[in-house]
Amino acid sequence: MAMSETATRELNFEPTPGPLDVWTGPVEAHARAGVEAFALEFASRGDRVPARVLLPKGADAPVPLVIAQHGLRGHKAAPYMEAAVAPWAERGVAVATIDFPLHGERASAKLSERIADLADLDAGLWIDLAEQAVLDLRQLLVALDDDDRIASERVVYAGFSLGGILGCLFCAEEPRVRAAAMAISGAGVGPAATDPGRFVGRIAPRPVHFVQAERDTVI
């Protein structure tokens, strides 16, 4: 796809109709005594999306849901993700995390290395990744709708780095998200069509909390 075609391409964040084919793994013990975990997998526009869900033990169901997303070159069970989100589950909320496209279990030996640097991204690949990621996150909510342990209508979003950049797009498109927190994210990344600076205003009037480092671009 030529750059000019990429720049003018209309984005599509609407899930494709079709069966989710949800697979759920058994609930397993977690390193934290007050937390349980299970694996989840579902279909999203032709991809199989692996997810991980943490649940608080002994909480009155259904519990609110935090969708938490990793940074560039991370994955759903990266050590920094575990350190951040497991205490949330221990305090009484469910936490769900997917592997973004080309990350974790979805990594590609050929393509994943092409997104190693956010400052030097192929525009077409970036738009494809952003579209797929937003669709995957929307499908995650649908996949959790039938889980009576989780209140999938009481949702907040937390994103780290890439998770915050793509989270601006997702939260702008998904009305079920009631609040969001974006850590070490920013605007001016990738092609203009998917610049989070174009989307973040549409999250209003829902509250958004930004956590930035000193030299990050602040939205």
**Which DSSP category does 17 fall into?**
S
Rounded Cα–Cα distance for residues 56 and 74 (Å): 24
List Cα–Cα distances, 74 to 44, 81, 159, 161, in angstroms: 20, 9, 12, 10
Rounded Cα–Cα distance for residues 206 and 189 (Å): 23
Q: Which residues contact 201 (CB under 8 A, 6 or more apart)?
A: none
Closest CA to 156 of 93, 83, 87, 205: 93
pLDDT, residue 216, reads 65
Using 50 as the pLDDT threshold, list the residues of the chain that sit under it: 1-5
pLDDT, residue 77, reads 95
pLDDT, residue 13, reads 85
Which phi and psi angles does 79 have, rounded to 5°?
-55, -40
Rounded Cα–Cα distance for residues 205 and 13 (Å): 21
- CA contacts within 13 A on the Cβ side of 36: 11
Helix, strand, or coil (residue 60)? coil
pLDDT, residue 137, reads 98
List Cα–Cα distances, 48 to 20, 41, 106, 140, 216, in angstroms: 9, 7, 9, 11, 33
Closest CA to 134 of 166, 178, 156: 166
What DSSP line would sit under 66-110, residue for residue?
A: EEEE--TT--TT-HHHHHHHHHHHHTT-EEEEEPPTTSGGG--TT
Residues 20 and 28 sit within 8 Å (Cβ to Cβ): no
Q: What is the pTM of this model?
A: 0.90
pLDDT, residue 136, reads 97
Angle, helices 162-173/123-144, rounded to nearest 10 degrees: 60
